[in-house]
Structure 1
Amino acid sequence: MTLPEIDSLSITLLVDNYTDRLLPSTSIAIRPPMMKNEQFLPPPPPVAEHGFSTLIRVASNDNVAGQNKGQSLKENMILFDCGTSENGVLSNAEILGINFNSIDSIILSHGHFDHFTGLPSILKRIDKPIKLICHPDAFLKRWIIFPNGKDKARLPFLDKGELQRQGAVIVTKKDPSLISQDSIEEYQYEMNENIVADNSIPKLLITGWIPRTTTFEKGFPLQYKEDINTNNLIPDPLVNDDQAIVANIKNKGLIVISGCAHAGIINTIRYAKSLTGINKIYAVIGGFHLTGGGIYEDAIEPTITELRKIDPRFLIPCHCTGWKATNRIIQELPEKFLQPSTCTTFTFTFDSTL
């Protein structure tokens, strides 16, 4: 099985750390309007918060071909992460006119509260059972313990039973998977010319656990987890539930969508390339986790060095990338940078000239 090509991928930032109402739209980035019918739109404006959530729409070749013949275009619509406040995603979705019942499934990048807090409110807006796909470690009870060993705090955690009562059909997977409107399939890349990918259904790749191969991406050293038997705190620096979404745009290459990239954005890109056998990276969007001082900022320069080697067409650093790292990307790779802002929709197509 290979990662099927798709013609179009749209990524709407429902929650991100930044908002800039004055950014102009481009052929790739559509910004939310400020005016309608010669009037400034009333409040509320888009909400920015320290969190992440994206709505991903994907269409395949046969779907697009069907539309040209007068048939309806079927989109696979995925919600990736749910923000850090109870109603941030809902508020921004209302501005954009998004109907949550159109979502086929919800994927969590990992089990940190700045990526799942809005989930219960979102489930209340969905009038059907909905798949919630995540790594099993997303349900761990975790703590932050600072280097002095005295200052610590328990992190909010996901309650599996409560989510199920709210209509979530929980699917936990450690290994790479293909996801479409109707199914979740095991993913295994095979270099075999006789294998024909089924492009009739738009599909995305969920990486599952990401191998750590770099020396400068060190995870989250302050994190500990509760032992389920003793309740003792055990070091949990790797954030093994961290995962990303990968799409294969026809004629362009891979798009990699990360939540926080606790596994490291370079490790994430490398794994996407290894899984698919595709070396060309078209775009990388999401959190790169290069803020927070210490080891995170120490990783900025080696990350930029590796990004230069990987040579993606576009870089869209969001959420936990941080101003220092973002500014370095702008300085060193200005032609690749696209500025994120809450409620922006980035659309990548196979026939784009960019």
Structure 2
Amino acid sequence: MTAPQPGPNSFPDLVELDALRLTVIVDNEVDFMTSVPQELGLTTQAMSLFRDKRNIDKEKSTEAIEDHHTHTHHGRSTNSATRTIAFDFHDGRQALTNYGSFSLIEQTGIKGNVEHRILFDTGPHSAIFLENAKRLEIEFEKIEVVVLSHWHIDHSGGMLAAVEKIHEARKKNQELPPVSVDLHPDRPDQRGTCLTRLSAGISPNLIEYVAWGKDPSFEGIEKAGGKVSLNNQAHTVCEGFFGVSGLIPRNTTYETGIPNHTRWHEKTKSWTLEPEIMDERYLVARVKSKGIVVLTGCSHAGVINVCQDVKRAFNQEQSDEVFFVVGGFHLAGGSVEARIKETVNDMLALNPSFMAPGHCSGWRAKAALEEAMPGKVVSLGVGSDFFITEKI
């Protein structure tokens, strides 16, 4: 008997922000060149380095001269000042790509003079996360909450290092509380993939599994300095600046999870199939005059199920359309690429203003979405810095 579907998530105390900044720390890709709509206020990491005043080439610049109206530079008469930035392709501040979830920091909500910052996922690897955070000059002491989208090592692998770094930065100011780590309570012993095709009526001699690394434990997170907060219901954090979903309703007929996904049970020393990955959660923020920004870790529940749930959650507010969908759409791989056509059709009906598929989305899905919805698919990569504000 099929379990009844839960009602839509609800975020009644989610506040309307004046602006929202999203900075990508970890992702599979980097793209410093593709143009982005003005409404998303994107600044790539490369552009930030282009404008970095610390790299001014004084030999090729004239702006330091007080009289900017007319002056001579290297024998040439000019009517305006010039500035030249010395860009080094070996600059140690250029972030690195790495397989795994994107992490969003300086996911900064701004309302009046108040700001709140959170981190959404931490990627698969501590070293890459910390190195990219260093190169992107992340201000760890300002991070108040870490939200884990779901228990998968490619999203939680950098968790302990991130929490420890935030803890160290925040404890220097005794007025700052410990960082809160928002987690789903159903932490698996371990997860993995079944490599063997299991057909009805066929009993293979050998069933092969791949065991992924273990997610950090609640105790380990507390030891690193985080304050664990377990949530399986929709709720908000940071004075209502951000909403974290509970269970995502599964209503579409084709978004049926990951067929070969498995779960290890330490007590029975056995694997079981677990295609649904029910602990997955999404994140939302509301930006004045723009609408809802949706962040997905992997969309194991299906990106259409996610977006439809968001639409239901805000169906009383006519102005609250889905403005921007960012994250993993999980449409890469032979077991899920057959869903691309139906996903595109349903996304056309949902009609978000923009989408930034990353991580596990795959180029086929990106190409299909762009073909169906020209100009609405935005490049997502390490170092991308989106700034969404009512003023644009």
Distance 2:35 2:352 in 1: 23
Distance 1:208 1:271 in 2: 11
Distance 2:229 2:189 in 1: 15
Extract structure 1 runs of 4+ deviating beyond 6 A.
Answer: none
| Bigger Cα displacement from structure 2, 34-43 vs 341-350 | 34-43
In the other structure, the counterpart of 1:8 is: 19
The equivalences for 1:111-260 within 5 A come to: 111-126=151-166, 127=168, 128=171, 129-148=178-197, 150-158=207-215, 159-180=217-238, 201=239, 203-227=241-265, 229-260=267-298
| Bigger Cα displacement from structure 2, 320-329 vs 224-233 | 224-233
Query: Cα distance, 1:43 vs. partner?
Result: 2.9
Residues 1:39 and 2:86 are matched in the alignment: yes
Residues 1:54 and 2:104 are matched in the alignment: yes
Query: Cα distance, 1:29 vs. partner?
Result: 0.8
Deviations 1:65-94 (A, max 9, x none): xxxxxxxx3311010000122222222221
Distance 1:77 1:281 in 2: 22
Closer/same/farther in 2, CA of residues 274 and 138 from structure 1, 3 Å limit: farther
Out of 65, 83, 87, which is 2:127 matched to? 87
Distance 2:155 2:255 in 1: 20
Equivalent pair of 1:207/1:272 in contact (CA under 8 Å)? no
Aligned residues: 320
Distance 2:32 2:285 in 1: 29
Distance 1:23 1:148 in 2: 40
Equivalent pair of 1:23/1:31 in contact (CA under 8 Å)? no
Distance 2:326 2:389 in 1: 15
Equivalent pair of 2:31/2:381 in contact (CA under 8 Å)? yes
Distance 2:276 2:262 in 1: 10
State TM-score, norm by structure 2: 0.77
Closer/same/farther in 2, CA of residues 283 and 26 from structure 1, 3 Å limit: closer
Deviations 1:145-200 (A, max 9, x none): 123362202221222222221112111111101111xxxxxxxxxxxxxxxxxxxx
CA RMSD of aligned residues (A): 1.9
In the other structure, the counterpart of 1:288 is: 329
Equivalent pair of 2:124/2:155 in contact (CA under 8 Å)? yes
Q: Secondary structure at the match of 1:170?
A: strand
Out of 336, 341, 346, which is 2:376 matched to? 336
Residues 1:346 and 2:386 are matched in the alignment: yes
Out of 287, 300, 303, which is 1:262 matched to? 300
Deviations 1:254-280 (A, max 9, x none): 111101111110101111122233461
Query: Cα distance, 1:108 vs. partner?
Result: 0.5
Query: Cα distance, 1:39 vs. partner?
Result: 1.5
Query: Cα distance, 1:202 vs. partner?
Result: 5.1
* Gap runs ≥5 in structure 2: 1-11, 57-84, 172-177, 199-206
Query: Cα distance, 1:143 vs. partner?
Result: 2.6
Distance 1:23 1:332 in 2: 19
Q: Secondary structure at the match of 1:90?
A: helix
Closer/same/farther in 2, CA of residues 139 and 203 from structure 1, 3 Å limit: farther
- Computing the radius of gyration from Cα coordinates, the structure with the larger value is 2
Query: Cα distance, 1:230 vs. partner?
Result: 2.3
Residue type matched to 1:40 in 2?
Answer: F
Distance 2:189 2:374 in 1: 39
* Identical residues among aligned pairs (%): 28
In the other structure, the counterpart of 1:20 is: 31
Distance 1:269 1:301 in 2: 16
Query: Cα distance, 1:235 vs. partner?
Result: 2.2
Residues 1:273 and 2:311 are matched in the alignment: yes
Equivalent pair of 1:77/1:103 in contact (CA under 8 Å)? yes
Distance 1:329 1:14 in 2: 24
In the other structure, the counterpart of 1:187 is: none
Equivalent pair of 2:31/2:379 in contact (CA under 8 Å)? no
Query: Cα distance, 1:23 vs. partner?
Result: 4.4
